[in-house]
Amino acid sequence: MRGRLRPKKSLKARMVASFRDYFGFEEKPTWIRIPRREETQHIMLLGDPGSGKSQTIHHFLLQIAARQPAEAAVIYDPACEFIKRHYDPKRGDIILNPLDARSPYWSPSTEVRALTDKKMVAESFLPGKSDTAQASTSTFFLKAARAIFGRMMEFKSTPPSTRTSFRRMPTDRGLVSWACSRISAKR
């Protein structure tokens, strides 16, 4: 019966255990800290899936949240994994995601105040060269897309009554009739 209830440890496992006992090494979780003066520097975390990259970011965010007075942090979170654990509206946190009901309303048309603004926003949304370096058909389609987008920017959208209801947003038919009336008025 002796030794049958517990499997015998391998030679490697016994050597590692004796090494830890001899030097007094114990495995324990540790916090990785970044000196405050170096937080504004760039950080790159590389690792295989499951190696703890997200957990490291969670620890950094907990460090920042624990400070008094409170400090601001901008977090790019396309998977929304940090919102669940760190979002606190009492602290004044703001979510900037058009698909999240807690996000404030914003429309690109609110940025347009002059003709140059309209062109700049259209070029930002539809980048590319519209000069003679490209083929004539691609230049035509890029300019046409920017012109259509610019016309749509003239329509000042209003925020929907609720984030899940789009009753006040224009319908396809209404938007087409609006665009046609604007084009015919220009002629």
Burial environment of residue 35 by CB neighbours within 10 A (0 to 12, 13 to 18, 19 or more): exposed
Cis preceding linkage at 127, omega within 30: no
- Kindly tell me if the per-residue pLDDT of 168 is higher than 50: no
Spatial contact of 58 and 85, defined as CB atoms under 8 Å apart: yes
Check residue 7 and report its DSSP letter.
Answer: P
Q: What is the mean pLDDT of the chain?
A: 78
Q: Hey, which residues does 133 pair with through a beta bridge?
A: none
Q: Provide the whole-model pTM.
A: 0.52
- Kindly tell me if the per-residue pLDDT of 178 is higher than 70: no
CA dihedral for 5, 6, 10, 11, sign (positive or negative)? negative
**How many CB atoms lie under 10 A from the CB of residue 153?**
21
Q: Mean per-residue pLDDT for 23-43?
A: 77
Give the residue ranges of DSSP H helices in the chain.
11-23, 53-65, 83-86, 115-125, 136-154, 172-186
Q: Which pLDDT does position 46 carry in this prediction? A: 92
Mapped onto helix, strand or coil, the DSSP state of residue 49 is: coil
Output the six-digit token pair for 180: 């046609």
Q: Hey, which residues does 14 pair with through a beta bridge?
A: none
> Residues 67-104: pLDDT tens digits?
888 888 888 888 888 998 999 888 888 888 878 888 88
Q: Hey, which residues does 162 pair with through a beta bridge?
A: 165
**Residue where the block lists tokens 């949304």:** 125
- Kindly tell me if the per-residue pLDDT of 48 is higher than 50: yes
Instruction: Give the N- to C-terminal CA distance of the chain in Å, as an integer.
Output: 100
